[in-house]
């Protein structure tokens, strides 16, 4: 069972008050196929089908015809809910048609005047046109497929009233309203009342985030080790050059001491080397102080290289 199916099954078992039900049905009808002779609601989810059937029965007490077919592309069943009774009344009541029977680009404001009604509208949109990736997959993604641009923008704006940072892009057929941020997708699941799905989603998200953080820390640690090794090798090259061309006795006491310890502990980081020198010599030397010594050694080695290049 996909994560999308789990979410839809969960929210299909939840029924609300009359106004919220109207908002949900408005979203469902706007995202379904309707024609002059009737309304055709199509889903591959039997739980969603039962939910839609019960909603229409409860709100309008109408005759509903149900059909079950086999999909031509897979083994899934397709459930059709066919509504012909009171069709004009229903479409006007749900803000789909105006008084002149013209299609309204966006639902009537009274249908989504409260927060509960807005949540119900979003729930209806998800039931018939939404999908969400399982958080175990490689990316976080929630989307709605919408036929018309005005409806897509309306849905996106409604989502963003809840600070979900949704966006709209055009597809070959219609438009996609989507959310990519993991935290925002979790918030959406809370908004539509998918409590069990939220718990599963957040558990997986936290695990993935912890794992990613661990990997980043490990990568960072490895990068620091490699950087320390490169720095140490460069310092030893400078020391060997000075030793070959001038002799280490040409260095003052502090630089000579730093050179000896660097050659003795080639794999130590600068911080580790400063601690070792402080312990062994009994004289406190900081990381920045030791770095200053190696800069001076570097300057001497570079002057030798310049002289060789000019000769």
pLDDT tens figures, 64-118: 888 888 766 667 788 888 888 888 888 888 888 888 878 888 888 889 999 999 9
Specify the 3-state DSSP secondary structure of 219: helix
Separation of alpha carbons 143 and 179, rounded Å: 6
Nearest alpha carbon to residue 144 among 154, 135, 252: 154
Contact yes or no for 228/46 (Cβ under 8 A): no
What are the structure tokens assigned to 286, written together? 């900081």
Query: Which is the CATH superfamily of the domain at 3-193?
Result: Homing endonucleases (3.10.28.10)
At 94 the pLDDT is 86
Per DSSP, 131 falls in state: E
pLDDT in tens, 289-311: 888 999 998 998 888 888 888 76
Q: Are 269 and 229 in contact (CB under 8 A)?
A: no
Please identify which residue in the block is written with the tokens 């509208």: 121
Q: Which of 59, 76, 216, 194 is nearest to 135 (CA)?
A: 194
Q: DSSP code of 78?
A: E
What pLDDT, on a 0 to 100 scale, did the predictor assign at position 33? 61
Q: What was the pLDDT predicted at 190?
A: 93
Q: Which two tokens stand for residue 153?
A: 């923008």
Residue 134 has which token pair?
Answer: 């399982």
Listed in sequence order, the residues at least 6 apart from 152 whose beta carbon sits closer than 8 Å to its beta carbon are 144, 146, 168, 174, 175, 176, 177
The continuous run of DSSP H or E covering 146 comes out as strand 142-146
Residue in this structure with the two tokens 């039962």, named with its chain if needed: 50
Stretch (H or E) spanning 144? strand 142-146
3-state helix, strand, coil in the chain (%, to 5): 60, 15, 25
| Below-50 pLDDT ranges, the chain | none
The H or E element that residue 68 is part of is strand 64-70
Compute and round to an integer the Cα radius of gyration of the chain.
34
State how far the Cα of 171 lies from the Cα of 175, in Å rounded to an integer: 5
Look at residues 12, 85, 14, 16 and name the one whose alpha carbon lies nearest to residue 50: 12
**What CA–CA distance (Å, rounded) separates 4 from 224?**
42
Structure tokens at 219: 């990568």
d(CA 177, CA 154): 10
Q: What is the per-residue pLDDT for 311? A: 67
User: Where exactly are the structural domains of the chain?
Assistant: 3-193, 227-310
Residue 283 structure tokens: 């004289």
């Amino acid at each position: 069972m996909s994560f999308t199916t789990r979410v839809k099954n969960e929210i299909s078992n939840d029924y609300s008050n009359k106004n919220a039900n109207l908002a949900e049905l408005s979203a469902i009808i706007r995202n379904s196929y309707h024609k002059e002779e009737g309304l055709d609601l199509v889903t591959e989810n039997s739980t969603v089908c039962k939910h839609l059937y019960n909603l229409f029965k409860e709100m309008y007490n109408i005759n509903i015809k149900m059909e079950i077919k086999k999909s031509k592309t897979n083994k899934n069943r397709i459930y059709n809910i066919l509504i012909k009774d009171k069709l004009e009344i229903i479409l006007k009541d749900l803000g789909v048609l105006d008084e002149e029977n013209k299609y309204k680009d966006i639902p009537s404001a009274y249908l989504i005047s409260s927060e509960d009604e807005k949540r119900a509208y979003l729930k209806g949109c998800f039931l018939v046109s939404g999908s969400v990736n399982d958080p175990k997959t490689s990316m976080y993604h929630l989307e709605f497929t919408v036929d018309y641009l005005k409806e897509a923008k309306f849905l996106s704006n409604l989502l963003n009233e809840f600070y979900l940072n949704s966006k709209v892009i055009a597809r070959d057929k219609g438009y996609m309203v989507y959310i990519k941020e993991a935290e925002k997708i979790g918030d959406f699941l809370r908004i539509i009342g998918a409590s069990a799905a939220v718990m599963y989603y957040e558990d997986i998200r936290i695990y993935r985030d912890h794992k990613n953080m661990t990997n980043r820390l490990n990568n960072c640690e490895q990068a620091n080790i490699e950087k320390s090794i490169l720095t140490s090798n460069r310092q030893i090259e400078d020391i060997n050059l000075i030793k070959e061309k001038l002799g280490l006795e040409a260095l003052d006491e502090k630089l000579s001491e730093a050179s000896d310890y660097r050659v003795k502990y080639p794999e130590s980081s600068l911080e580790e080397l400063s601690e070792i020198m402080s312990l062994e010599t009994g004289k406190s030397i900081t990381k920045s102080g030791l770095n200053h010594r190696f800069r001076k050694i570097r300057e001497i080695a570079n002057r030798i290289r310049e002289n060789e290049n000019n000769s």
